[in-house]
Structure 1
Amino acid sequence: MRVLFVASECYPLIKTGGLADVAGALPLALASLDCDVRVLMPAYPGVFGPLQGIREVAAYPDVFGGPGRLLSGETADGLKVLALEASHLYERPGNPYLGPDGNDWWDNIRRFAALSAIGAAVGRFGVGEWKPDVVHCHDWQAGLVAPYLLAGPAEGRPKTVFTIHNVAFQGICGRADFDTFGLPSSFYTPAGLEYYGYCSFLKGGLVFSDRLTTVSPTYARELRTAEFGFGMEGVLNERASVLSGIVNGIDTKIWDPATDPLIAANYSQRKMAGKAACKTELQKRMGLRIDPDAPLMIVVSRLTGQKGLDMLLPNLDGILERGGQLAILGAGEHGMERAFVDAAAANPGAVAVHIGYSEPLSHAMQAGADAILIPSRFEPCGLTQLYGLRYGTIPVVARTGGLADTVIDANDASVRAGTATGVQFAPVSAGGLGFAIERLFDLFHNKKVWRALQARAMAHPVGWEDSAPDYVALYRDLTAEGV
């Protein structure tokens, strides 16, 4: 089975969020199941650093305003990458979506229309002797792949899968933008790409792809409601028969406390001493009071309303009054950043904030913390709770989306049965979060229960080996249809 992934980011080449982790780890898991996967992504600055054996496999005289070429390479662990080099679109500072000023690039629509167009071209014609059976598109940036494929002849057209990582990001643009895409005008209708007088890349993926997936079963159900569908619930209800939810996994080779080179001391479920050393080192690194008995909670997240972190602020006094500590890694809404920075300044030794993102610090925080707080108002799947489980850092999560699917609440019954892995809360409110944090303190101070909770969390399956077979089954079912 030959599969082309089309994604706007991919770890270890570049990462701004969980999409990159999925695009980098899932292909390797699929390869172990006899799938030959290539990942198509833009050639941002620095992308070629981790790649070996780089060679040109295609050239394009005009990629939305300038020349481009496709370069093939492979990472040391065998991830096969097709990088679209088009300097007028991708060779610039900042991250894949934002300039150095923190604002969206003015031409993001053009940049990702180009990615979709080349994705469709590789899907239809392949590169060299390699041609995909399935093109698997990820989020709005790849939303035009299926429309481009359907605009051409049926012969030679691969099957398409579109995965919704976050329905809130929809790739909205105007009719004038649509007219530059080279798609038939018949595609700009309410049954197609038109969306309340605008054009939506996301809707293109939802309407025209053969199959739809999202990243957890609960989120697949939530997407069909007005509360969580962000205006796309009508389309998703119409296409419910081809929509499925498959829980994300993580790369358990990269995220493994027993071998992780980015943490102060390695440890495992059976030999936990290293975690205490990691906690001490994290407290030193973040300027927190060195105290092995202080419950240390972390946040590793975008600092936005979606992530529910505004609900954490009114609970901060309660955390500190019970002797807890809080360390935050993330960036986002400036007002929220400022509120947490001010909280750290007002509570030295108890609250620490690092604005931005650092992969090494993320590993150190997962290893050194006692708990990770994830109070998202909605969460398609989430990965940080999976990292927490892997590292024995107990997740405190809102009962929504993939958080509900991946964390087993430590209620009386599950604690007695030895199945609990974390703390869930509902309703998703500041009060609900506060009650969950109170429960966390009670669990932490019962050392026998806490150790059992950590052990069960670390034993919980979080790798792609549990989810990748579901994708293979989907691909096989799709290609067997013959239509």
Structure 2
Amino acid sequence: MKILFVVSEVEDLVKTGGLADVAKSLPLALRDLGHEVIIVMPYYQALAKQFSAGECAPRQTLFSEQTAYEFAIREIHLENLRVLCVDYPDFFARKGLYSDDYHAYADNAERFAFFAHAALKSAQAINFQPDIVHCNDWHTALTPYFLHIDDSGFFSDTRSIFTIHNGAYQGTHRFDDIPYLRPHYQLSEQLDGDALNFVRMGIRYANKINTVSPNYAQELLTPLGSHQLFYEFTQRRSDVSGILNGCDYSQWDPVNDPHIIKTYDAKNFKGKAACKADLQRELGLPVSSAVPVIGMVCRLTEQKGFGFILPMLDNLLQHNVQLAIVGTGDPDICRYLHDMAQRFPQKLAFHQDFSVRKAHMIEAGSDFFLMPSLFEPCGLNQMYSLAFGTLPIVRAVGGLKDTVIDVAEHPQSATGFVFSEPNQHALLACIERALLFYYEYPAEFILTQKRAMQTRFTWQSAAKAYENLYRQALN
């Protein structure tokens, strides 16, 4: 199949989050299955600084009312994968992808409405006639609509897939603030008051809708988990599915990790003990092999469960435990964690920053990884933790439920600890259960660690599932 992969960021090119990881790994895995994949993305200032990308087609023009949008199409390569870049400096020659250092760009809706259309025009300009246009998140959610109204005939056999990586981010903007869309009366008749919801349009116009784990797909079909889009999802229920993201084990592998003090594998845990001592020294915690370390690396937001982490923190730190938290985010959460770290300097280390090195040190040096998210479409850190033999403590939501097996529920296949209710009492009880398992059943704890390290969620499996989804869309 010929696949046009439309996305706003790609790892190794420009990245702000997990979307970029998917946008590199999935196209490469699809290519390895024999498909012809071309990525199309904006030509950001950060890309222009890294690459000298030549124009690969004649300049193109899109029109909206009396305005002409002339843009160039530049081409770069990522591991022999073609990447087309839409070069329209007024929109993309800026410091950040979606914002500067402090504020979101006020014209993001205009920028990505244009990009959603320009992506198709770029494929047409190089005579790439895709079987599938695969769109990702709200930035590209209007591409299925532009495909729907295209009357050139070029895309008459093309079908669209819209992947929702996080349903909480929907691209809701006042229609009057999107000049590019003013001629599009079909869209102006589908507003929420005076606002256009990009994700809602993606759901309505794409041939198939999917998200990044089977359980999150089921949650989107419920009133509580649908992010206020319950009607849209249920109207398309037969076209909604979930495919679990893969994990890049070339980067997250304790056998070959340049960021940790000593490598290790499931047969020899001495390296993990060395990593634990190194993490304790790095974060200023007492070095002790006997005390369990619970690690956490994330954005400090309500989504990550801090609404019930903070209220139980005092009770947790009465136990013989160490907690290592690395991340940035909500200033109120940061202040609270700083205060608690001063109260419990022997038990809580909080570093208000982020680095790849510290993320790897936490994964390798911790005994448990805390991830009690309010919602989590897929999640990657629990996969990294499993690979490092660091048992996840998670809430049974989204991809966390799909990837972690609870010790109490299935002891013979368990890989971590799972709780359900989104409150401080359920979380504390789950952590206490994990600590009891660590102290009272050390042999079983090690067996569970080894089982976790043998668990794999590969992009090869994900790509085969997407291949099947594409075929369904084409039939």
TM range (shorter): over 0.9
Match of 1:432 in 2: 426
Question: Displacement of 1:259 after TM fit?
Answer: 1.2
Match of 1:112 in 2: 112
SS in 1 for 2:361: helix
Q: What is the aligned counterpart of 1:414 among 403, 410, 416?
A: 410
Match of 1:339 in 2: 336
SS in 1 for 2:295: strand
Classify 1:414/1:227 alpha carbon distance in 2 versus 1 (closer, same or farther; 3 Å).
Answer: same
How far apart, CA to CA, are the structure 2 residues paired with 1:37 and 1:222? 30
How far apart, CA to CA, are the structure 2 residues paired with 1:49 and 1:268? 39
Match of 1:100 in 2: 101
Question: Displacement of 1:154 after TM fit?
Answer: 6.6
Match of 2:438 in 1: 444
Match of 2:450 in 1: 455
Classify 1:337/1:183 alpha carbon distance in 2 versus 1 (closer, same or farther; 3 Å).
Answer: farther
SS in 1 for 2:383: helix
Q: Which amino acid aligns with 2:74?
A: L
Question: Displacement of 1:347 after TM fit?
Answer: 2.6
Match of 1:57 in 2: 56
Q: Which amino acid aligns with 2:93?
A: E
Question: Displacement of 1:217 after TM fit?
Answer: 1.3
Question: Displacement of 1:407 after TM fit?
Answer: 0.7
5 Å-filtered alignment, 1:45-194, equals 45-47=45-47, 54-58=53-57, 59-60=59-60, 68-75=71-78, 77-93=79-95, 95-101=96-102, 103-123=103-123, 125=124, 127=126, 129-153=127-151, 155-157=153-155, 158-181=158-181, 183-190=183-190, 194=191
SS in 2 for 1:8: coil
340-349 or 7-16: which moved more? 340-349
SS in 2 for 1:28: helix
133-142 or 317-326: which moved more? 317-326
How far apart, CA to CA, are the structure 2 residues paired with 1:25 and 1:7? 13
Q: Is it true that 1:469 corresponds to 2:472 in the alignment?
A: no
5+ residue gaps, structure 1: none
Question: Displacement of 1:317 after TM fit?
Answer: 2.5
SS in 1 for 2:180: coil
Question: Displacement of 1:144 after TM fit?
Answer: 0.9
Classify 1:398/1:268 alpha carbon distance in 2 versus 1 (closer, same or farther; 3 Å).
Answer: same
Question: Displacement of 1:79 after TM fit?
Answer: 4.2
Classify 1:263/1:49 alpha carbon distance in 2 versus 1 (closer, same or farther; 3 Å).
Answer: farther
Q: What is the aligned counterpart of 2:225 among 214, 225, 228?
A: 228
How far apart, CA to CA, are the structure 1 residues paired with 2:195 and 2:147? 21
Match of 2:15 in 1: 15
Classify 1:273/1:68 alpha carbon distance in 2 versus 1 (closer, same or farther; 3 Å).
Answer: farther
Classify 1:398/1:222 alpha carbon distance in 2 versus 1 (closer, same or farther; 3 Å).
Answer: same
Alpha carbons 1:397, 1:424 under 8 Å: kept: yes
Question: Displacement of 1:21 after TM fit?
Answer: 1.3
TM-score w.r.t. length of structure 1: 0.91
Alpha carbons 1:126, 1:132 under 8 Å: kept: no
How far apart, CA to CA, are the structure 1 residues paired with 2:37 and 2:354? 29
Question: Displacement of 1:179 after TM fit?
Answer: 4.5
Match of 1:199 in 2: 196
SS in 2 for 1:343: helix
Match of 2:388 in 1: 391
SS in 1 for 2:375: coil
Question: Displacement of 1:448 after TM fit?
Answer: 0.6
Q: Is it true that 1:353 corresponds to 2:353 in the alignment?
A: no
463-472 or 346-355: which moved more? 346-355
Question: Displacement of 1:471 after TM fit?
Answer: 0.2
Alpha carbons 1:122, 1:131 under 8 Å: kept: no
Runs of 4+ in 1 over 6 A off after TM superposition: 62-66
Question: Displacement of 1:349 after TM fit?
Answer: 4.0
How far apart, CA to CA, are the structure 2 residues paired with 1:376 and 1:409? 16
Q: Which amino acid aligns with 1:367?
A: A
Alpha carbons 1:308, 1:376 under 8 Å: kept: yes
Classify 1:107/1:308 alpha carbon distance in 2 versus 1 (closer, same or farther; 3 Å).
Answer: same
Alpha carbons 2:285, 2:349 under 8 Å: kept: yes
SS in 2 for 1:20: helix
How far apart, CA to CA, are the structure 2 residues paired with 1:403 and 1:183? 43
- Deviation digits for residues 55-78 of structure 1, max 9, x if unmatched? 322434579886532222223x44
SS in 2 for 1:161: strand
Classify 1:354/1:4 alpha carbon distance in 2 versus 1 (closer, same or farther; 3 Å).
Answer: farther
Q: What is the aligned counterpart of 2:205 among 191, 205, 208?
A: 208
How far apart, CA to CA, are the structure 1 residues paired with 2:171 and 2:398? 22
Question: Displacement of 1:454 after TM fit?
Answer: 0.7
Alpha carbons 1:54, 1:74 under 8 Å: kept: no
Q: Which amino acid aligns with 2:92?
A: Y
Alpha carbons 2:110, 2:179 under 8 Å: kept: no
SS in 1 for 2:176: helix
Question: Displacement of 1:314 after TM fit?
Answer: 2.3
Alpha carbons 2:171, 2:199 under 8 Å: kept: yes
Q: Is it true that 1:243 corresponds to 2:246 in the alignment?
A: no
5+ residue gaps, structure 2: none
TM-score w.r.t. length of structure 2: 0.92
Q: Which amino acid aligns with 1:431?
A: H
- Deviation digits for residues 93-152 of structure 1, max 9, x if unmatched? 3x4223212x212221122122212222234x152x533221111110111111112121
Alpha carbons 1:24, 1:79 under 8 Å: kept: no
Q: Which amino acid aligns with 1:34?
A: G
Work out the percentage of aligned pairs sharing the same amino acid.
35
Classify 1:113/1:459 alpha carbon distance in 2 versus 1 (closer, same or farther; 3 Å).
Answer: same
Give the number of equivalent residue pairs: 468
Match of 2:324 in 1: 327
How far apart, CA to CA, are the structure 2 residues paired with 1:281 and 1:139? 39
SS in 2 for 1:326: strand
464-473 or 205-214: which moved more? 464-473
Match of 2:266 in 1: 269
How far apart, CA to CA, are the structure 2 residues paired with 1:434 and 1:179? 51
Classify 1:84/1:368 alpha carbon distance in 2 versus 1 (closer, same or farther; 3 Å).
Answer: farther
